[in-house]
Amino acid sequence: MEWHVTDAQSLAIIDSEIENHVFSPAEYEIVRRVIYSTADFEYKSLIRFSERALQAGAAALAARTTIVVDVPMVQVGIAYEIQNTFANPLYCSMEALTRPQKEKTRAAWGIETLARRYPEGIFVVGQAQTALTALVDLIEAEEIRPALIIATPVGFVDVDEAKRRLQDSLVPHITIDSRKGNAVVAAAIVDGLVDLAWQAYGQDRNRGS
C-alpha cells in the first residue's frame, strides 16, 4: 500500500490511542489496518488469529495460491494490492457458474463450487454468512483443506456458530469475535497480510525475476 503523509498521521494517532497490547508485530499491523479502515477501536479486542495464521497466509500468497472471495466488494478492495504484488488468481463466488439452488444462497453455492475447484485456496468471507457455513461444512467433510480463511461476515443468525466451528478446525484463520464485521474489514485484513507477505517474500521474488 502506498502511504500518504495523512495516512501516517492517522496511524500515529491509532498507535497513541491503542497504547499497550498483546499482539505480535505482524498481528498488530493487521489490527491497526482494520481500525484505520473503520475508525472503530473496538476491533482491538475482537480480532482473533489462529496459531500461525499469518505465517500460513503469507506463505500461501507467496506461492501464488488462488484466492476466493464471497462478494465483489471484497474482490474490488483487494485486487489492486494482489495485482501489484504476487498476482494470485482471484475469483468471486458470485461470478461462479452454477445451477440455481433453492436451498442455498448464490454466495454459498458459488463458494462451494470454487472451493471444490481450489480446495487448498485462500478464502475470504466478508459479508455472506452462508458462504462461511458452506466452507465449514466442506472442511468438516474433509473435502477441502484451505491454506487460510479470513471470516468477517456481519450477522445475527448462525454466524457465531459458523465461526466457532471454524475455530474448532485446524485450518488457519482470522475471524472477528462479534456480530460486527463487513467486507471493508475483510479487505483491510487481506491488504495488511499482502504487505506483510511482500516484505517477507517480495525481495526474494524480485531478485529471482
Quick one: 22-201 is in which CATH superfamily?
A: Cobalamin biosynthesis CobH/CbiC, precorrin-8X methylmutase (3.40.50.10230)
Q: Which three cell numbers stand for residue 128?
A: 455472506
Please list, residue by residue across 120-129, b when 16 or more beta carbons sit within 10 angstroms of its beta carbon and e when fewer do: ebbbbbbbbb
* pLDDT, tens digit, 9 for 90 and up, residues 90-106: 999 998 866 666 778 88
pLDDT top residue among 156 and 190: 190
Query: Quick check: 3 pLDDT over 90?
Result: no
Instruction: Report helix, strand or coil for 27.
Output: helix
Mean pLDDT of 168-187: 95
Question: Distance between CA 27 and CA 25 in Å, rounded?
Answer: 6
**Tell me, what's the pLDDT at 208?**
47
Residues forming a β-bridge with 68: 91, 123
Residue 20: band (very low, low, confident or very high) from pLDDT cuts 50, 70, 90 = confident
Instruction: Report helix, strand or coil for 93.
Output: helix
Question: Distance between CA 148 and CA 120 in Å, rounded?
Answer: 8
